[in-house]
Amino acid sequence: MPAKTDWARIRDDFPILQECAHGQPLIYFDNAATTQKPPAVLDALRRYYEHDNANVHRGLHELSTRATEAYEGARERVAEYVGAASASEIVFTRGTTESINLVAQSWGGGFLHRGDVILLTEMEHHSNLVPWQLIAARTGARLRFVPVNDDGTLALDQLDALLTGEVKLFAFTHVSNSLGTINPARELCARARAAGVLTLLDAAQSAGHMPLDVRQIGCDFLAFSGHKMCGPTGIGALYARSEILEQMPPWHGGGEMITSVTLEQSSYKKPPHRFEAGTPNIAGAIGLAAAIEYIEGIGREAIFQHDSQLTSYAMQCLADIPGMRLLGPAGERGAIVGFVRENAHPHDLTTFADQHGLALRGGHHCNQPLMRRFGLPGSTRASFYFYNTREEVERMADILRKAARFFA
Ligand code: PLP
């Protein structure tokens, strides 16, 4: 039997959780926006800058070699973490948004034609919608959407009918950042593959929260952000299956991505460096590898179980608050609980919570079409991570009960 995880000791790695906000002990429930960082990540950044800092790849000196080894080592670590066949399938980016823009601009720009269709869902974050709108406008491709049911799940009974011959790519989120819905990624990728359609999985809300393996899931692209999984901001990755990545043209030009340049034209490196023009976020990549190490030290299955239990407990605690309506599926979900309450705008409710030291997020969560689908101006969202506790959930319920009286 695996040793019992000492969650209290792990929480001690995050002194920021002992801060106060508005004079009240902080409850940080905004983890879907960004997570806190443990000392292991901060130490890795500091160690790199103190001892190994140099530019990568082009240097013929010891420090540059060390920096390059650390940077490329981080790529190996990310590849292993997502189950890629090789590190050359991992492109470092600024995060999920940039990863999806890379696919839209490079793959989409190279291979989409007028009349082609990109299939998305109604629950996509703007970062898995706007890049496709941009490339559709440039290429004449069209967008199509899998609808969302009232319970916050995808209308998968319609999927096969939507996967027609014109569809070239199905891009969808693994976990909805507003509803918490966990989409059955493996099944969706298999159904798309059977129809000859490539798949892109937005793993922004899953990569740090649950076991995830691109070859088991069977996706062609996967995008995620380091800062939502204990890593620094400004770093993330794109996984792309090598047969596809090798055919994709560059999307940004500059140093580091070329093999030879004349005044008229250039030739380009192989992936992944073809897609990493300019000096990369070396420290960020090293910090991301440290975050992965830290998460793996706890175990993704243990994190998933912890988060799931906390989320069900939160739903249970919030359900009996007068006027509270919980969004999303009743069953298994990601570490996210979205809700609305009568007589209170989400911004007002979130500001009320903040006055009591409770950090929630209120608004459209970059999900404007989804909010419109549910006839809402926005929602309030509590999102959890492994360092959060049942006591914090109980305090949230108390604060929201006070809010119920305040906004009655
Ligand atoms: N996709 C989903 C589902 C998200 O929740 C987010 C961020 O909240 C993103 C994409 C964008 O991530 P980033 O801003 O780190 O690029």
Q: Mind spelling out the 3-state secondary structure of 23-63?
A: CEECEECECCCCCCCCHHHHHHHHHHHHHHCCCCCCCCCHH
Same domain, residue pair 71 and 117: yes
First to last CA, the chain: 49
User: Tens digit of pLDDT for each residue in 195-222?
Assistant: 999 999 999 999 999 999 999 999 999 9
Atom 8 (ligand 1) nearest CA:
33
Angle, nearest 10°, between helix axes 300-319 and 390-406?
A: 30
Same domain, residue pair 209 and 154: yes
* pLDDT for 342: 82
Same domain, residue pair 92 and 125: yes
pTM of the model: 0.98
Whether 1 is in a domain gets the answer: no
Cβ atoms of 249 and 229 closer than 8 Å:
no
Mean pLDDT score, 182-186 = 98
Mean pLDDT score, 356-375 = 95
Cβ atoms of 359 and 30 closer than 8 Å:
yes
Same domain, residue pair 76 and 119: yes
Atom of ligand 1 nearest to the CA of 225: 15
Same domain, residue pair 61 and 125: yes
Same domain, residue pair 139 and 200: yes
Chain centre distance of CA 54:
29
Ligand 1: centre distance to CA 342 (Å): 28
| pLDDT over 60 (residue 301) | yes
Ligand 1: centre distance to CA 92 (Å): 16
Mutate to test the pocket of ligand 1, among 96, 120, 172, 365 (most ligand atoms within 8 A of CB): 96
Same domain, residue pair 114 and 226: yes
**Could you say which of 282, 297, 312 is where a domain stops?**
297
Same domain, residue pair 310 and 290: no
Whether the upstream peptide bond of residue 272 has omega within 30° of 0, thus cis, is yes
**Could you say which of 273, 297, 321 is where a domain stops?**
297
Q: In what order do the strands lie in the sheet with 379-383?
A: 324-326, 336-341, 379-383, 361-363
Whether 35 is in a domain gets the answer: no
* Long-range contacts at 182-190 (CB < 8 A, ≥ 24 apart): 182/206, 182/332, 182/333, 182/334, 183/121, 183/154, 184/156, 185/217, 185/219, 186/216, 186/217, 186/218, 187/156, 188/156, 188/159, 189/217, 189/218, 189/219, 190/218
Of the two residues 323 and 13, the one the predictor is more confident about is: 13
Whether 111 is in a domain gets the answer: yes
| pLDDT over 60 (residue 96) | yes
Same domain, residue pair 208 and 329: no
Listed residue (282, 275, 203) closest to 242, CA to CA: 275
* pLDDT for 210: 98
Nearest-angstrom CA–CA distance, 107 and 200: 12
Residue 4 — very low, low, confident or very high, per pLDDT cuts 50/70/90?
Answer: confident
Mutate to test the pocket of ligand 1, among 125, 183, 385 (most ligand atoms within 8 A of CB): 125
Q: 206 CB less than 6 Å from ligand 1?
A: no
Whether 65 is in a domain gets the answer: yes
Residue 59 — very low, low, confident or very high, per pLDDT cuts 50/70/90?
Answer: confident
Whether 130 is in a domain gets the answer: yes
Q: What is the CATH number of the domain that holds 17?
A: 3.90.1150.10
Is residue 366 part of the annotated active site? The answer reads: yes
Length of the chain, in residues? 408
* pLDDT for 275: 98
Same domain, residue pair 90 and 190: yes
Q: 205 CB less than 6 Å from ligand 1?
A: yes
User: Tens digit of pLDDT for each residue in 222-268?
Assistant: 999 999 999 999 999 999 999 999 999 999 999 999 999 999 999 99
Q: 177 CB less than 6 Å from ligand 1?
A: yes
* pLDDT for 1: 53
**What is the average pLDDT value for the chain, to the nearest integer?**
96
Nearest-angstrom CA–CA distance, 239 and 216: 14
| pLDDT over 80 (residue 281) | yes
Cβ atoms of 128 and 151 closer than 8 Å:
no
Q: 99 CB less than 6 Å from ligand 1?
A: no
Query: pLDDT > 70: what percent of the chain?
Result: 100
Mutate to test the pocket of ligand 1, among 205, 230, 235 (most ligand atoms within 8 A of CB): 205
Same domain, residue pair 170 and 235: yes
Whether 113 is in a domain gets the answer: yes
Atom 14 (ligand 1) nearest CA:
97
Atom of ligand 1 nearest to the CA of 95: 16
Atom of ligand 1 nearest to the CA of 98: 16
Query: pLDDT > 90: what percent of the chain?
Result: 95
Mean pLDDT score, 19-37 = 97
Mean pLDDT score, 358-379 = 95
* pLDDT for 321: 93
**Could you say which of 276, 297, 318 is where a domain stops?**
297
Whether 289 is in a domain gets the answer: yes
* pLDDT for 408: 83
Whether 142 is in a domain gets the answer: yes
Q: Which domain holds residue 329?
A: 7-30+300-406
* pLDDT for 2: 60
Same domain, residue pair 13 and 74: no
Atom of ligand 1 nearest to the CA of 97: 16
Of the two residues 404 and 132, the one the predictor is more confident about is: 132
Domain count, the chain: 2
Q: 204 CB less than 6 Å from ligand 1?
A: yes
Listed residue (336, 330, 331, 341) closest to 310, CA to CA: 336
Q: What is the CATH number of the domain that holds 107?
A: 3.40.640.10
